[in-house]
Amino acid sequence: MEHQLIKLRAAGVNKVVINHCYLGHMIEAHLGNGSRLGIEIDYSPEGERLETGGGIIKALGKFKGESFIVVNADVWTNFDFRLLPKIEPKTDLAHLVLISHAPHNPSGDFYLSSTGRIQEIATDEITKFTFAGVSVMHPKLFADLEADPQPLRPILSSAIECGLVGGQIHRGTWLDVGTPERLEKLRLLLEETHGDE
């Protein structure tokens, strides 16, 4: 998680909101208010696990109606957050970063059209990509939704159907580190590259 916070700070982000449920007190104890990393951290604790959709909805009041970057805590990537676009709700409610090499999800999640539109159904011979857990979203994506436990996918699907989700492909390093085995794989990768990333 610190790696992502450092990269976000380098991209000009000066405040983040961290949702947490399981072991949240340990996250807060370790990261504190973020001053050690040069970034302000606000926390949005969840009494029950709200999943990604519900967790974002619960924290919406902290974003003052502006678009915000979402980064899953269990991914490690060398993606340059400065490449994320500013989005306007007139044209987009979300912008997703996609990858083509996710061993845990070989069937992929979404298609990306030649015009940069996310699709769930292929309209031509295009490759299916995996959502990298990095995105920009606008609060209007979650309009009228309650902060109940709910996944993000159905929320995105509604906006995709309306043509309001764009995307881009990241061809660099990306790892899902959500299990001890995958975390060990990252440790070995970093040792091989001498910690360059």
Per-residue confidence (pLDDT) for residue 194, from 0 to 100:
60
The model's confidence at residue 195, banded by pLDDT at 50, 70 and 90, is low
Residue 126 pLDDT more than 90? no
**What long-range pairs does 177-186 form, CB within 8 A, spacing at least 24?**
177/74, 177/75, 177/76, 178/74, 186/76
Tokens of 46: 């969840």
Contact status, residue 165 vs residue 85, Cβ threshold 8 Å: no
d(CA 23, CA 11): 28
d(CA 126, CA 114): 9
The model's confidence at residue 30, banded by pLDDT at 50, 70 and 90, is very high
The CATH class of the 2-192 domain is alpha beta
Q: Chain-wide mean pLDDT for the chain?
A: 92
Q: Please write the tens of the pLDDT for every residue from 146-193.
A: 999 999 999 999 999 999 999 999 999 999 888 888 788 888 878 887
Residue 197 pLDDT more than 80? no
Amino acid at position 60, single letter: L
d(CA 129, CA 113): 11
CA distances 28 to 52, 65, 114, 178, 188, Å, are 19, 25, 42, 19, 27
Q: pTM for this structure?
A: 0.91
Q: Please write the tens of the pLDDT for every residue from 63-103.
A: 989 999 999 999 999 999 999 988 888 889 999 999 997 88
Residue 125 pLDDT more than 80? no
Residue 29 pLDDT more than 60? yes
Whats the size of the chain, residue-wise?
Answer: 197
Domain spans of the chain, in order of start: 2-192
Residue 6 pLDDT more than 80? yes
Contact status, residue 167 vs residue 110, Cβ threshold 8 Å: yes
